[in-house]
Amino acid sequence: MFTVYFREGGDGPAHGTQQVAGSVVAPLQSVGSRVVQPFRDGWDWVTGLFDARSENERLREENAALRAKLSNATDQSAEVARLRGLLRLTDDVPSGYSPKIASIIGRSPTNWYSRARLDVGTGDGVVVNSPVVAAAAPGSALVGLITSASAGSSVVTFITDSSTRVGATVDGSGGALGVLRPTVGGQLMMEGVPREFRVRDGAVVRTAGFAAEMRLPSVFPRGIPVGQVAGTGSREVDTFRTIQVTPYVDVRTLSQVAVLAPTSAAAKRRAEG
């Protein structure tokens, strides 16, 4: 048949049979194609759906893995920052004191809370009137004073408490001395600075080493940073300047501090008042 088909001309019987068969089968092929096409389309849709779901699941897993890595990196960054802060606390300590790292285990409920309980006490060398500092941009900064202590815990009263008074001086002012007291919103006010002292905005305010009222030795050693000058004001008739001070540390955010336990005879005398 193949020999006859290829040897005969285009109008031969074999070619004619092919044309007749093609004309008969073509409609059947067309109908079959139309019948089968929806099933093909349905199959393609189903397989595409499975592929999409598989791809979606893969992307979900990748996203979860990336979130885990990001969370881990964030936790590590926070831990690094915490450790760096602790290093600043232990490196920047006044002479005659030993830093005792403490965690805050209880807080007063007010917005600008005035007190907190720490997990260190007399068993760690902490005594009443031990200064308390926290990590800050300068290295460490004053945040309060131990006002009660037991063997395993102690209470710090913050410099934002209404009862707190701190003798202070201002860097670059030529020796200006004054007394810090808390005002609203966690800010401080420095009073008693004569007008003739020039105090610039942004200057560092530090403990002066004297008691607030009588210029006697203070429980706070000299030179601990407290905050920065936020503004000054006075009238022509005023004898003293009014200096606004922003503390370096927002006590609301604290979780760890360092209690400066006195070790030298001079530091112990300070703590005794």
Give me the CATH number covering residue 238: 2.40.10.340
> Could you tell me if 117 and 252 lie in one domain?
yes
Can you tell me which residue has the tokens 């610039």?
A: 200
Q: Percent of the chain scored above 90 by pLDDT?
A: 44
> Could you tell me if 52 and 159 lie in one domain?
no
Q: Are 206 and 222 in contact (CB under 8 A)?
A: yes
Domain finish residue from 44, 68, 91: 91
Q: How far is CA 227 from CA 11, 24, 242, 251, in A?
A: 109, 99, 15, 12
Q: How far apart, in whole angstroms, are the C-alpha atoms of residue 230 and residue 236?
A: 21
Q: How far apart, in whole angstroms, are the C-alpha atoms of residue 87 and residue 79?
A: 12
Domain that holds residue 226: 98-272
pLDDT tens digit string along 99-135? Answer: 999 999 998 776 566 899 999 999 999 999 999 999 8
pLDDT tens digit string along 25-83? Answer: 455 455 555 655 665 666 666 676 666 677 777 777 777 777 776 666 555 555 555 55
Structure tokens at 139: 């290295």
Taking alpha carbons only, the member of 125, 232, 104 closest to residue 172 is 232
Q: How far apart, in whole angstroms, are the C-alpha atoms of residue 173 and residue 201?
A: 11
> Could you tell me if 23 and 133 lie in one domain?
no
DSSP E strand stretches across 50-153: 97-107, 115-118, 131-136, 139-149
Domain finish residue from 42, 71, 91: 91
Structure tokens at 28: 């059947």
pLDDT at res. 40: 66
Domain finish residue from 43, 75, 91: 91
Number of domains in the chain: 2
Regarding pTM above 0.85, the answer is no
Q: How far apart, in whole angstroms, are the C-alpha atoms of residue 257 and residue 245?
A: 21
Find the radius of gyration of the CA atoms of the chain: 41
> Could you tell me if 55 and 154 lie in one domain?
no
Q: Are 261 and 97 in contact (CB under 8 A)?
A: yes
Can you tell me which residue has the tokens 């092929």?
A: 29
> Could you tell me if 37 and 108 lie in one domain?
no
Q: Are 193 and 240 in contact (CB under 8 A)?
A: yes
pLDDT top residue among 269 and 69: 269
Taking alpha carbons only, the member of 72, 115, 124 closest to residue 97 is 124
pLDDT tens digit string along 183-239? Answer: 988 899 999 888 888 899 999 999 998 875 655 678 999 999 999 999 987 666 678
> Could you tell me if 142 and 13 lie in one domain?
no
